Structure 1
Amino acid sequence: MLLLFFCCSVSLFAQKSAIYNNESQDFKKGLSLFHAKQFLAAQIIFEKLQSHSQNTTTIADCTYYAATCAMHLQQPHADLLMENFIEDYPTNANQNKAFFEVASYYFQQNNFVKSLEWFQKMDESQLDQKERDQLYFQKGYVFFITKDKIQANNYLNKVVHSNQYGAQAKYYLGYMAYQNDDFKEANKQFETIANDLDFKEKLSYFQADMNFKLGKFDQAIALGKAALAKSSPTEQSELHKIIGESYFNLQQYDKAWPYLEKYKGKNGKWNNTDFYQLGYAFYQQKDYEKAILQFNKIIDGQDGVAQNAYYHLAESYWKTNQQHQAFMAFKSAADMNFDIKIKEDAALNYAKLSYELGNPYENVSTLLQKFISQYPKNPETPTVQKLLINSYLSSKNYKEALELLEKTSLPENKTIFQKVAFYRGLELVSENNYAAALPWFEKAINTPRDLIFTTRATFWKAESAFQLDRFALALQDFKDFQNNASAKNVVEYIHLTYHLGYCHFKLKQFALAATQFQAYINTPNADKLKVTDSHLRLADALFMTAQYQLAIESYNKVIELQSVEADYASFQKAICFGFISKNTQKIEYLTHFLKKYPQSTLRASALFEMANTYLTINKPALAIKTYDQLLLEFPNSVLYPKALFKKGLALYNQDQEDEALAQFKKLVAQFPNAPESLDAVATARLIYLDKNQVDVYANWVKTLPFIAVSNADLDHDSYQVAEKQYLQNNVKAAIAGFEKYLSSFPEGFHALNAHFYLGQLYFNQAAQAKAAVHYEAVCSGSQNEFSEEALFKLSQIYLTNNQHQKSIPTLIRLEKETNTVPYLIFAQSHLMQEYYENKDFANAVVYAEKVLANSKISTADKTNAQVFIARAAFQNQEESKAKQYYAKLQPTAKGELGAEALYYEAYFKNKEGLFELSNKAIQKLSKDFSGYKYFAAKGLIVMAKNYHGLKDAFQATYILEAVLQNFKQFDDVMLEAKQILEIVKLDAGQINSSIQK
């Protein structure tokens, strides 16, 4: 409370002047009213005299008194009136009084800078003691307000004995000493005015605070409580803090928290110490939930208070079963060096929780090893060593675990290495990366510490070799697995005969394949899908060994089981009837096939076989009709040139020579490189001979680049030499032979074959650029017998080399022309991916839906399509659709896709305000997919948003700062983390003054 006793008695300054020599009644009346403090009435008289008097002195005196009255009346521009007087009458006897009046006026207006300016103009020697006391106090107070403590002390000390100003001077002198923590001097000044009613209430606060700061907590509490009722709201807030913190220092936490809680802070904000004290008081009361709400507001702390707070925050989280939150708080405490004991214990708990929960920032194994090396004498170190051993497997971060294991030579790590190598191989298999998986299975086999893992690794090595088309190696490894004594004890054994069957089948050992597939069919508890597939491959093996009746029975079983390959089985069944000379039944079953499976990729083949069979049973008209149906429905089929030729032959045999000739010419014109073109030319020759039009034939043949009668034999012989080397697998000789042939006969009849075989040879030698040249030659014309395979290989080359401008049209053509389901799925899957990478999300979705519409896709294909629909929908801001498809991925997605699906589950739950559920998804992501750093980092940002939503500034800040420290390789992650951290700190800074913006 500011107590100013300001009394200005102008009568003290009144002196006799010349005006009294000739004093009028009006002037006397004005002075009388002035001394009676009737300033308005006096002002009227003085202003009237001022305007009518002819006496200069009277005018000057009236001007002074009128201005003085204006100041007492607080009239606008009163200061200007006085300043005008000073300027107009510089020699007037009232000049010094005028300075004093203006200074006092500004003082009363709280314009201390202007007040001091006028005080400095005064001549103190002209003042009496009372006036000097007023001057010294007011100047002292002005210096106090303007924080010039030296001058304030100087002037206030001059009036400590003044009856009017002494008490106030002592108060301000004591207050300045209090501010300077000079409690002895403050107490000395305050004691002299302790009984003054004007100061008693005010002093009670300062006395309570001084006792607190002197460590006299009991006295501080007593004085503080006594002062509460008489204090202002601001002082009450400070007194609550003094009382609460005094109880805190006395370790009376049950009494401390009610007072600490009522503290309003400085400018409405608490600092880190304030939050720590209330949090610790709750912690001591075992009210951990409330303790968390205080501790977690402490962010950016870099002192002992913060380390203590983070440690007790961690314990509070731990005691309320919030282990993930405890994990982060222990890390913060472990990173500080203010209390070494707290640092070590926090590091231990951080290491243990990292093992239990997973750690998205650091490799758990490295972290555990770090603790062991830093604290070898810690009683818990043996426990940590056991956790280290288990961490390699439980973290599922096999890649980094293997890197660490390969650097160590401890004997006990050999067993761990074998297991981790095996699981790393399986992880790569789940990602269809068999080439990368194979070496890890070999390493597991070559580290034979555990027979079970050696056995399982042998099986999966065989499977990886099979998927890489290394069928002989796969067969040998499957046999090694079969001969292993432990084979029957592992889960893979039940499927052994199925895999053996496929190896024999791929090696064209069909009789052995049939035996193995039959054995799998007879296996109890075998996989149903594999059993159905085994019936189909058994039928194929029987077909290839000309056991057509038995093959028909197996194909019937496939149809009965409603396999996705039922259309293929139905087609093959019909073909079987043809081989046993039951052409009527063959046509019957082909007709049934065409009706039941109108969308089958085998429809063109079925029409072709039906037409051929009509020719066989001498029904040329039906044959021609069926060929026409094929030509109409499948103008891009590889069977198109064959159907043209067959139709031409049928017409020729029906003596419809002109119609036949038209078909042959059409064939040769559209498909000059087709094998049938040469036969078409030969048959056309016969027609021209019959028509006695040899000259017409000769002129036509001259237009055909692949027909050179004189060189035909040389062309054929040159090609045969190269082809022989190719069939004998003499790679270098075959390449040289085909290149020589193409050099000699670039438009030769066998050029198409030579280009294709060279493409295959170069492709298998990993000479992709050379292979591409020849595959492109194969595909340069119309569809042919090699174009499907060439398009497939060419697509792979373009995809590998990121040649998007070439890969997309090649894949589109492959999709259009292929009759092979795996190639169709390949084309559509990669078109989906290519369009997505080119940000053509609409087409990406079109192809993803095509893949999903195919009933013959694998689980991996299905998963891949779903993820691209989800990604494209998200990019198109169709979040509802994206959420739906990411949810579909959850049950099957593995590896990086699993990490992606979990991230988006967390993302969408955050968007819905389901912060706790979102955090659970991220916790699973961190534990099970920590190796996938990008989604781990993205997930952590979502987790930070969740904690921000949950008002946990500590967790949000810790996570974002950890992301900024550990994931600098991801620019988009860094940018988002910085933006959110700024928001979190801005919000937290609204209540915590310790936070640096």
Structure 2
Amino acid sequence: MKKIIVLSLLINLISVGGWAQHTQIFTNSDNQFTQGKELFLERKFAASYRCFEEFMQSVDASKMGQKVEADYYMAANAYELGQENADVLLKNHLELYPYTPFYDAVNNMLGLLESNKKKYKQALEYFNKVDENHLGENETVEFLFAKGYACLQTSNYVQALSIFKNLKEMDTRYNLSSKYYYAYTLYCLGSYKDALPDFLALEDNPAYRNIVSYYIVQIYYAQKDYDQLNDRAERILRDNPDNKNNAEIYRIAGEIAYRKRDYVKAIEHLKNYEKLFPQVLRNDMYLLGMSYFQTKDYTNAVRYLSKVTTDKDEMTENAYLHLGNSYIKLKDYTNARLAYEAALRTSFNKTVREEAMFNYALTSYESTSAFGESISAFEQFLTEFPNSKYTDEAYDYLSSVYMTTKNYDAAYQSILKIKTPNSKLLETKQYLLYQLGTEAFTQNSLGKAIEYFSLSLRSSTTGKYSAECLYWRAESYYRTDKPDLAIRDLKAFFNNSNSKSSANRVAANYLLAYAYFAQKNYPEALNWFLKYTEAETNSGAVTLSDALNRIGDCYFYARNLSKAQLFYSKAVAASPNTADYAMFQSAYVAGLQKNYSSKITKLESLITQYPKSEYTDDAMYEMGRAYLMMDNNEKAIATYQRLLAAQPTSEMARKAALEIGMVYYNEKQNDRAIPAYKNVIAKYPGTDEANTALESLQTLYIEANDVSSYLNYTKSLGHVVKSVNAAVEDSISYLAAEKQYMNGSYDKAIIGLQAYLTGFCPGGKYCTIAQYYLADSYDRADDKANALKAYQAVLKIEGNEFMEEAIIRCAGITYDQKDYSAALDYFKQLQTVAQSTEKKNVARLGILRCSYFLNDYQTTVNIVNEIMSDSRSSAELKSEALYNRAKAYLALKKDVDAAADLKSLAAETRTANGAEAKYLLADLYYRQGKLAESENEVMDFAKKNTPHQFWLARSFVLLADVYIKQNNDFQAKQYLLSLQKNYKPADEIQTMITDRLTAISEREKSTIIN
């Protein structure tokens, strides 16, 4: 308000009071002011600016009106000259003179400056302050056009439309541009029908032809007027092949060509669209893929259709169907199955679903389906589409699936659902139960194997697989110590007509012989062992030399020593590497034939050739016996002492030590007999030999009339010579506790045995056995802590007969407690004292496992090498040894050695170790960058299948990783989704699947737009 009053007073002063006196003073400045305005009108802006600049330097403060006007013209000149400070001058003018009469002109110029800078939002802020009625005619047109354009650029379409509508009706230089922008604004508002006439009016104008044609095409596309747009689109692409706007025209032209079934042209246009637009629309990818499918270019069909399966909609469903069909044409049945399976995850189109479901079932049958998919697929199809044109074909395939699948359990469960199976299905059922039985047998689940074989035989005792079921059930019975049932089944096997063609017929002779042998029915055993050796054509068979040994044993038990000798000799010739038993038996027979020299020679040969044989201690003991029979006591004693030095903890050593005392006693060398007997008592306390030695000592001391020395000696041992009543009490106390133990009343046995050990030991007759029974009672009562202590007490009794078993139990308990260091010590101790091959192998296996868990991988490798080089090591032991060595090699980063072991193990995927080895081999290849080899291993694994589904599932996750590394997310995704559906356990596999699918989904979103 103050500014208005001052300005008003100033004007009054000039006009009324002082005009005359000021006229003379400012004459020159007036001329400059007038001249400046004239020059501005003549558009001589630089000269005008100088005039006003000079005027402002000399003007009197009393000429406020001229000063305001001059400031404006200076800013306007700067604007017209394009000076950098024009906007500053214009803004300063508004700030200095907020009520300037040039308010609208200045805001207009500021708006135009912002528009030139493409700052349309700021431009509109100035334009909206302008009253167009205060502008000149030319200024008004310029202002309206600029404001309309700014509105358009800021998406203020309604205001822009109003402005351009008025301008296009005016006869100005902006007429055509306004008509274009009016039409364009209508286009932006979606008013295609209203926009089209103006676009058509501009279509032949050279200035607009190259741009409006694109909008016309898109309008016709939106209106689905394909006849109108097709010619225009083709003309645009022909006349302007390099126009940057052609991407959308190629897209539209490609779609129109597809609609007209001109798939070649559709491919041409859509490929050009793809080149110009990196983020291709999902629908157009689909059209391109389908065009390739229609032109039988199935490789490219797969390439593009696989990119559009990102959403759960009908497009994805149909794309998967045609992906499957493309893979079929490419003979890639595995990927076809995955595609059809993916199509079934949605249900938008029943026809598509029917075709996809049948094809999925069909490809599951023809390809690798690891989790019983083919069976469930046909079942689902027949349930969902019972009246399909494919129904009869589906039933035929389902019957075939039962016979070809490796997922026997899924097939068996499926066939159980059929209420009235025909004869063919009954035979199939028997086959499936037979396979389930052999699978369980391979896993050493013998009870389950017997159950499956029995179910199979209930289906038919004369069917195609009945003979095989009888054989394997007999083998299972034999291994579970039921030789009578094994004999029953083997007799039935030989009476079964199908056995004549059985691959197990020769082996059945061997098994039946052993069943009789287990019953000690040696005549029958001999008969069947002989039949086996006559029928066995493979002279290198491991079982052949074993059968010859058993024939020798049968003759031995029948006291036909010459025949026994003959077959032991044959066994040595058949297998020189494992001839130690036969050599020992042959020597023993020679002894029975009183040919002691031959016996000694044979035994010495055995010891020399097989120094690590389990029969070396027996051989030395029997050699000593032979010398005794030849009355060569000196050599007998020397041989016994040799045994004591070589294997002091063996059972034969105890006997040899006692024999030495007895030899000296018989020779009346009491001075040597006494220390010999004391040696037995000292080294083997608590054993029968020690008790015998003590009794013999008593006899010697009595004969020498030196009872006091005997009593002093026994006292030093902790023994007290008991009265008859005390001896009876000792026996009664022990026998009472023993009875509870034998009855399985372990809690009561523990109490009784502890009481006995406290009351009568040391010195009691039964101390050693009572200590062992106490340990075993704790063990059976599941009191492992006390069992371990009791077994350790047994180990402190030197030379006792329970030493090996006590070590085994200590090792087992500490191993189960995961105290692998302690367990390792026990297994090493067992390896030292073990007499039989069986227990030596237990020791080796224990050392193997403990060293692996203790990360002592080199020790693991060393013990495995020892196991593998021993021809007596069982197949099961060698399998576990290989497994541990392979993992040790992996830990040692010896990949070549690891791969060799893994390959050997992976040949049998029905075992747990074999299944894991197959995965580890594929994983090893993956980590080495051998992606093709890794993929091949997984595919082979799926083909072979396994009851250990975790490792197969883990392998499929690895397969997805292979594809991801190959930038093939689509393939990886299909395997993961299939695995997610078909692998049932809720374990870490599901987490692995989810993590990978999430990552794939994120990558898909970045490449395809909807």
CA distance in structure 1 between the aligned counterparts of 2:309 and 2:841, rounded to whole angstroms: 53
1:82 corresponds, among 69, 73, 90, to: 90
Letter paired with 1:178: Y
- 1:829 counterpart = 2:845: yes
Alignment of 1:236-255 (within 5 A): 236-255=246-265
TM-score (norm 2): 0.87
Counterpart residue number, 1:960: 976
Letter paired with 2:554: A
- 1:515 counterpart = 2:523: no
- C-alpha change, 1:884 and 1:485, in structure 2 (3 Å) is closer
- C-alpha change, 1:54 and 1:707, in structure 2 (3 Å) is farther
- Tell me, yes or no, if the aligned pair for 2:449 and 2:476 is still in contact at 8 Å: yes
CA distance in structure 2 between the aligned counterparts of 1:248 and 1:321, rounded to whole angstroms: 27
- C-alpha change, 1:906 and 1:735, in structure 2 (3 Å) is closer
Deviation at 1:135, TM superposition (A): 2.5
- Tell me, yes or no, if the aligned pair for 1:968 and 1:974 is still in contact at 8 Å: no
**Per the alignment, in what secondary structure is the counterpart of residue 297 of structure 1?**
coil
- 1:590 counterpart = 2:603: yes
Counterpart residue number, 1:671: 684
Question: Structure 1 stretch 37-46 or stretch 916-925: which is displaced more?
Answer: 37-46
Question: Structure 1 stretch 646-655 or stretch 186-195: which is displaced more?
Answer: 646-655
Deviation at 1:328, TM superposition (A): 1.0
Counterpart residue number, 1:155: 163
Identical residues among aligned pairs (%) = 24
1:574 corresponds, among 581, 587, 594, to: 587
Question: Structure 1 stretch 378-387 or stretch 774-783: which is displaced more?
Answer: 774-783
1:701 corresponds, among 714, 718, 724, to: 714
- C-alpha change, 1:893 and 1:982, in structure 2 (3 Å) is closer
- C-alpha change, 1:875 and 1:489, in structure 2 (3 Å) is same
- Tell me, yes or no, if the aligned pair for 1:358 and 1:364 is still in contact at 8 Å: no
1:410 corresponds, among 420, 424, 429, to: 420
- Tell me, yes or no, if the aligned pair for 1:452 and 1:490 is still in contact at 8 Å: no
CA distance in structure 1 between the aligned counterparts of 2:461 and 2:920, rounded to whole angstroms: 40
Counterpart residue number, 2:10: none
CA distance in structure 2 between the aligned counterparts of 1:910 and 1:365, rounded to whole angstroms: 32
Deviation at 1:103, TM superposition (A): 1.4
TM-score (norm 1): 0.88
- Tell me, yes or no, if the aligned pair for 1:722 and 1:733 is still in contact at 8 Å: no
Letter paired with 1:714: V
Counterpart residue number, 1:91: 99
CA distance in structure 1 between the aligned counterparts of 2:556 and 2:734, rounded to whole angstroms: 30
- Tell me, yes or no, if the aligned pair for 1:330 and 1:350 is still in contact at 8 Å: yes
CA distance in structure 1 between the aligned counterparts of 2:787 and 2:458, rounded to whole angstroms: 37
Counterpart residue number, 2:549: 536
- C-alpha change, 1:646 and 1:491, in structure 2 (3 Å) is same
CA distance in structure 2 between the aligned counterparts of 1:911 and 1:501, rounded to whole angstroms: 51
2:988 corresponds, among 969, 972, 977, to: 972
- 1:183 counterpart = 2:197: no
- 1:210 counterpart = 2:219: yes
Question: Structure 1 stretch 27-36 or stretch 819-828: which is displaced more?
Answer: 27-36
Could you list the per-position Cα deviations for residues 578-617 of structure 1 after superposition, in whole angstroms to 9, with x for gaps in the alignment?
A: 2322222222222222222233333333333334444444
CA distance in structure 1 between the aligned counterparts of 2:702 and 2:561, rounded to whole angstroms: 43
Could you list the per-position Cα deviations for residues 321-373 of structure 1 after superposition, in whole angstroms to 9, with x for gaps in the alignment?
A: 01111111111223332221111011001011112224335543233222111
- RMSD of Structure 2 on Structure 1 (CA): 3.9
Deviation at 1:250, TM superposition (A): 0.9
Counterpart residue number, 2:137: 129
CA distance in structure 2 between the aligned counterparts of 1:402 and 1:276, rounded to whole angstroms: 41
- Tell me, yes or no, if the aligned pair for 1:298 and 1:954 is still in contact at 8 Å: no
Letter paired with 1:347: M
CA distance in structure 2 between the aligned counterparts of 1:987 and 1:181, rounded to whole angstroms: 33
- 1:601 counterpart = 2:609: no
Question: Structure 1 stretch 556-565 or stretch 741-750: which is displaced more?
Answer: 741-750
CA distance in structure 2 between the aligned counterparts of 1:392 and 1:798, rounded to whole angstroms: 47
**Per the alignment, in what secondary structure is the counterpart of residue 686 of structure 2?**
coil
Deviation at 1:277, TM superposition (A): 0.7
Could you list the per-position Cα deviations for residues 877-906 of structure 1 after superposition, in whole angstroms to 9, with x for gaps in the alignment?
A: 554443222112243453444433443444
Deviation at 1:285, TM superposition (A): 1.0
- 1:221 counterpart = 2:219: no
Counterpart residue number, 1:565: 578
- Tell me, yes or no, if the aligned pair for 2:333 and 2:366 is still in contact at 8 Å: no
Deviation at 1:502, TM superposition (A): 1.0
- 1:869 counterpart = 2:885: yes
Letter paired with 1:587: I
Deviation at 1:37, TM superposition (A): 5.9
Deviation at 1:377, TM superposition (A): 0.9
Letter paired with 1:298: V
CA distance in structure 2 between the aligned counterparts of 1:472 and 1:345, rounded to whole angstroms: 56
Question: Structure 1 stretch 600-609 or stretch 350-359: which is displaced more?
Answer: 600-609
2:209 corresponds, among 188, 200, 223, to: 200
Question: Structure 1 stretch 368-377 or stretch 695-704: which is displaced more?
Answer: 695-704
Deviation at 1:721, TM superposition (A): 6.9
Letter paired with 2:802: F
Letter paired with 1:787: M
- 1:321 counterpart = 2:337: no
Letter paired with 1:940: F
Deviation at 1:375, TM superposition (A): 1.0
Question: Structure 1 stretch 802-811 or stretch 273-282: which is displaced more?
Answer: 802-811
- Tell me, yes or no, if the aligned pair for 1:102 and 1:115 is still in contact at 8 Å: yes
Question: Structure 1 stretch 40-49 or stretch 934-943: which is displaced more?
Answer: 40-49
Counterpart residue number, 1:294: 304
- Tell me, yes or no, if the aligned pair for 1:494 and 1:526 is still in contact at 8 Å: no
- C-alpha change, 1:436 and 1:68, in structure 2 (3 Å) is same
- Tell me, yes or no, if the aligned pair for 2:686 and 2:768 is still in contact at 8 Å: yes
Could you list the per-position Cα deviations for residues 158-201 of structure 1 after superposition, in whole angstroms to 9, with x for gaps in the alignment?
A: 32223233322332332233344432112022133334332111
CA distance in structure 2 between the aligned counterparts of 1:410 and 1:449, rounded to whole angstroms: 20
Could you list the per-position Cα deviations for residues 447-471 of structure 1 after superposition, in whole angstroms to 9, with x for gaps in the alignment?
A: 2264342332222211101111222
CA distance in structure 2 between the aligned counterparts of 1:864 and 1:605, rounded to whole angstroms: 30
Alignment of 1:38-187 (within 5 A): 50=56, 53-55=59-61, 57=64, 60-72=68-80, 75-76=83-84, 78-162=86-170, 163-187=172-196
- C-alpha change, 1:703 and 1:481, in structure 2 (3 Å) is farther
Segments of 5+ residues of structure 1 without an aligned counterpart are 1-17
Counterpart residue number, 1:12: none
Letter paired with 1:120: N
Counterpart residue number, 1:8: none
CA distance in structure 2 between the aligned counterparts of 1:38 and 1:570, rounded to whole angstroms: 132
Counterpart residue number, 2:728: 714
- 1:488 counterpart = 2:516: no
- 1:498 counterpart = 2:510: yes
CA distance in structure 1 between the aligned counterparts of 2:691 and 2:444, rounded to whole angstroms: 44
- 1:439 counterpart = 2:451: yes
- Tell me, yes or no, if the aligned pair for 2:674 and 2:700 is still in contact at 8 Å: yes
Deviation at 1:278, TM superposition (A): 0.8
Deviation at 1:69, TM superposition (A): 4.6
Counterpart residue number, 1:395: 405
- C-alpha change, 1:21 and 1:569, in structure 2 (3 Å) is farther
Deviation at 1:110, TM superposition (A): 0.9
- Tell me, yes or no, if the aligned pair for 2:371 and 2:407 is still in contact at 8 Å: no
- 1:308 counterpart = 2:318: yes
Deviation at 1:263, TM superposition (A): 0.8
Could you list the per-position Cα deviations for residues 105-143 of structure 1 after superposition, in whole angstroms to 9, with x for gaps in the alignment?
A: 111111112112222222333123332332332222222
Letter paired with 2:210: E
- Tell me, yes or no, if the aligned pair for 1:521 and 1:531 is still in contact at 8 Å: yes
1:339 corresponds, among 346, 349, 353, to: 349
- Tell me, yes or no, if the aligned pair for 1:944 and 1:956 is still in contact at 8 Å: yes
Deviation at 1:424, TM superposition (A): 0.9
Aligned length: 975
Counterpart residue number, 1:269: 279
Deviation at 1:919, TM superposition (A): 3.8
CA distance in structure 2 between the aligned counterparts of 1:921 and 1:624, rounded to whole angstroms: 63
- C-alpha change, 1:794 and 1:463, in structure 2 (3 Å) is farther
- Tell me, yes or no, if the aligned pair for 2:487 and 2:516 is still in contact at 8 Å: yes
